[in-house]
Amino acid sequence: MRIPGPEEIRALHEKHAPTAEALTSVHRHCELVWSVAEQLLASPRLAHLDAELVRAGCLLHDIGVYRLYDDAGRLDHENYIRHGLLGQELLESEGLPATLCRFCSHHTGVGLTRQDVVSQNLPVPPADYLAETAEERLVMYADKFHSKSHPGRFLSPEAYAAHVRRFGEEKVTAFRALRDEFGDPDLARLTPQAELPPVTG
């Protein structure tokens, strides 16, 4: 499988971004998620992962957000949960392999189950959208440490755990399992890449 590099991926972002502001927000977030994953990949215990695939997954995972902007440049927050599936469709239309398309549709939260979709009446087809491979889990996990709703800010593990608790203790448990698998990033080292210090609580 040929994996696109950062410049090719940036060109995809530029092609699909409806505005310069959207490009800056989404592509910068994807780069920061890659900075988290890249740091974690330095651990010898993660040497078995395909770093090139993880990089592509990080840089592509949120590309579907572009399809949620209206003609006036406003983001449809109400349907934001759909951005993963929209990203999968976008990458499929570009001819990218399923392995890459799944990074879009399988990174939301700490994994969406069919039960989540049904019980929360989410606007996506009922199915399990769970990260299955170690590379998918790492992209999903790294994504938790930076939020576009906090421009330029990283989130500490404690801050994300507090955030996800509102969806149930099982989500906190799932996040803890990811921390055990991949370790905690050193956000202090990454902060110079962002504009503001991490949110810690």
pLDDT at 133 over 80: yes
Alpha helices, DSSP H, located in 106-190:
114-119, 134-143, 157-164, 169-182, 187-190
Question: Across residues 126-147, what is the average pLDDT?
Answer: 97
pLDDT at 25 over 70: yes
Instruction: Please check whether residue 183 is in contact with residue 43, taking contact to mean a CB–CB distance below 8 angstroms.
Output: yes
pLDDT at 198 over 70: no
pLDDT at 124 over 60: yes
pLDDT at 194 over 70: no
What's the confidence (pLDDT) of residue 193? 64
Judged by average pLDDT, the poorest of 6-10, 67-71, 196-200 is: 196-200
- Mean pLDDT for the chain overall: 93
Question: Across residues 18-40, what is the average pLDDT?
Answer: 95
What's the confidence (pLDDT) of residue 33? 97
Instruction: Please check whether residue 170 is in contact with residue 136, taking contact to mean a CB–CB distance below 8 angstroms.
Output: no
Instruction: Please check whether residue 140 is in contact with residue 58, taking contact to mean a CB–CB distance below 8 angstroms.
Output: no
Share of the chain above pLDDT 70, in %: 94
Per DSSP, the residues of 6-44 read HHHHHHHHHHH-SSHHHHHHHHHHHHHHHHHHHHHHTSG
Where does the pLDDT of residue 152 fall: very low under 50, low under 70, confident under 90, or very high at 90 and above? low
Instruction: Please check whether residue 27 is in contact with residue 10, taking contact to mean a CB–CB distance below 8 angstroms.
Output: yes
pLDDT at 192 over 70: no
Instruction: Please check whether residue 75 is in contact with residue 66, taking contact to mean a CB–CB distance below 8 angstroms.
Output: no
pLDDT at 76 over 70: yes
Tokens of 134: 């170690």
Where does the pLDDT of residue 191 fall: very low under 50, low under 70, confident under 90, or very high at 90 and above? confident
